[in-house]
Amino acid sequence: MNWGGFFDGLDRRIGWRESRARAMADATRPQPPNVGWGAALGSMALAALALECVSGLVLA
């Protein structure tokens, strides 16, 4: 995700003065790899399923 463009949009809508400096700082900072929504939702579903199984074993 391009955070620089995101903060530029906030600057146009809200009128923040420091968003340009924040956008420049974010542009120079190394960005984390974009995993994507599929992997995030899949891992959350697996975690919920594992929690369900463990809680079922504990309650049984």
Among candidates 3, 9, 60, 58, which has minimal Cα distance to 29?
Answer: 3
State the pLDDT at residue 35.
63
Question: pTM for the whole thing?
Answer: 0.33
pLDDT truncated to tens, each residue of the chain (60 aa)? 555 565 556 555 555 556 666 666 766 666 666 667 777 777 888 888 888 877 777 665
Instruction: Write down the pLDDT at residue 5.
Output: 61
Contact 4, 24 (CB under 8 A): yes
pLDDT for 50 = 84
Indicate the burial class of 7 (C-beta count within 10 angstroms; 0-12, 13-18, 19 or more).
buried
**How far is residue 33's CA from residue 13's CA, in Å, rounded to a whole number?**
28
Query: What's the confidence (pLDDT) of residue 46?
Result: 85
First and final CA of the chain: distance in angstroms?
A: 45
